[in-house]
Amino acid sequence: MKTVPIISAEAAAALVQSGDTLLVGGFGMTGNPVHLVHALAETQTRGLTFIGNNVGEAGLSGGRLLRNGQLKKAIGSFFTSNREAVAAAQDGSLEVQLIPQGTLAEAIRAGGAGIGGFYTPTAAGTVIAGDADLRVLNGQEMVFVPALRGDVALIRAWRADTAGNLQYRLTEQNFNPAMATAAHLVIVETEEIVEVGQIAPEHVHTPGLYVDYLVQATLTLADLGSSADVRGGAKRVDEARLNMARRALRELQAGDVVNLGIGIPTLVADLITPEMNINLHTENGMLGVGPAPEGGGALEYPVNAGKVPVTALPGASYFDSAASFGMIRGGHVDAAVMGGLQVDASGNLANWAVPGKPLLGVGGAMDLASGARRLIVTMTHTDPDGTPKIVESCTLPLTSRGAVDMVITDKAVFEFVDGKLTLTELMPGTTLDEVRIATGAAFAERLDTST
């Protein structure tokens, strides 16, 4: 059995050369090798390409490299959580390549497996696809994505043994296992280093053959950024939004695997009881998501896709981001409930970008919209100025084409019956005339008038 050198964070940072491509693990600050990145920030290394889900937070992890001017390019799925990354992209000091979250995970996995690239339905028909090669496979348009590899991978584990075998904790897997396979040099920051044999073989998530160096580093609350603590108390929600959440819940069946987006969909989670037997999936690597804990943060609990600490229900499981999005693309998620900016008469969804704002944060929305068996969109019927959000044809950048099955607004419920936008229900306190006036697309009516 080999022995992996144990070095300091400073010695590890010295192994990174100017111009290198870095793979940096973590989902937000969960599973992020923050001590390694901060040690790198103390060097004169420049011209780095940073591959990660996001560039840390302002001044934290990759955000510190950015603030120092050490990054020339960032490749990831969600940069808008770091205001300094947005500013750098806008002023041209940082080149940014935006990739849907699941596509990013799979591109790294492919790079580590010696695969040159792959075709995926995610982002087909959207601006993200750009000039990529398009093929129709099994009747579905797919986008070619090249594999990603790095010169150096900086990853975070919970435990390592002296042979480099790694074990991750809770939702700290995310991008780390795939990144450990996809770089020429792999440096692991770990909470604990134990002797060989102290991690049972069946508990090894990453075999030691991938690992070149180990660095012991203890995580503190200060390292976790916005995930450090449970966020504030009970939600104050208006009745209209709560009605939308209640109506969405009625569409979920016992035994369903369900992914809930941010905004109105998160309210659905608060309405689910154990007796309903609904299994919540979060794309950063968890199945069996429970309610928020009474106290504590990401040092004690897993986090969801909103980077908020949650509890795990009995029977829950954890996995990495590549496996999570394989579940989504593979059709194993029964329903996704997502927010929307626009839905059109052809079932197209736009929910990730608005005019005048940089296109810097798609996350997992495209993967979910195209991969879930059923897509339910919850949104207000109009913008605050009264502009309809249900339109004849989307004018905002698309998230997915023809994927929407149901739209639930504060005024009405629409379904696509035989491919046609159809009004099937009025929400409490709304009249048919109000819906007609506030809807920007032609629709059929199939209202139940028996009650």
Give residue-wise pLDDT tens across range 55-112.
Answer: 999 999 999 999 999 999 999 999 988 999 999 999 999 999 999 999 999 999 999 9
The pLDDT score that the predictor gives to residue 232 is 46
Q: How far apart are CA 305 and CA 294, in angstroms?
A: 19
Give residue-wise pLDDT tens across range 120-167: 999 999 999 999 999 999 999 999 999 999 999 999 999 999 999 999
Q: Are 73 and 50 in contact (CB under 8 A)?
A: yes
Q: Which two tokens stand for residue 209?
A: 């053959």
| β 71-76/48-51 pair status | parallel
Tell me which of 283, 392, 425, 445 is the catalytic residue: 283
Q: Which two tokens stand for residue 318?
A: 């954890």
Q: How far apart are CA 449 and CA 71, in angstroms?
A: 61
pTM of the predicted structure, to 2 decimals: 0.94
Residue with tokens 């073989």: 201
Q: How far apart are CA 391 and CA 396, in angstroms?
A: 11
Residue with tokens 């009405």: 412
pLDDT mean over 33-44: 97
Q: How many CB atoms lie within 10 A of CB 311?
A: 16
The pLDDT score that the predictor gives to residue 407 is 98
- Concerning whether 283 is annotated as a catalytic residue, the answer is yes
Cα dihedral: 327, 27, 160, 18 (round 10): 120
In the structure, what pLDDT confidence band is assigned to residue 235 with cuts at 50, 70 and 90? low
> How far is residue 190 from each of residues 54, 172, 205, 208, 239, measured CA to CA in Å?
21, 11, 13, 13, 46
pLDDT mean over 158-182: 97
Q: How far apart are CA 263 and CA 270, in angstroms?
A: 12
**25 Cβ contact list (under 8 Å, min separation 6):** 31, 32, 33, 52, 153, 154, 155, 156, 174, 175, 176, 179
Is the confidence at residue 202, as pLDDT, over 80?
Answer: yes
- Indicate the residue type of 23: L
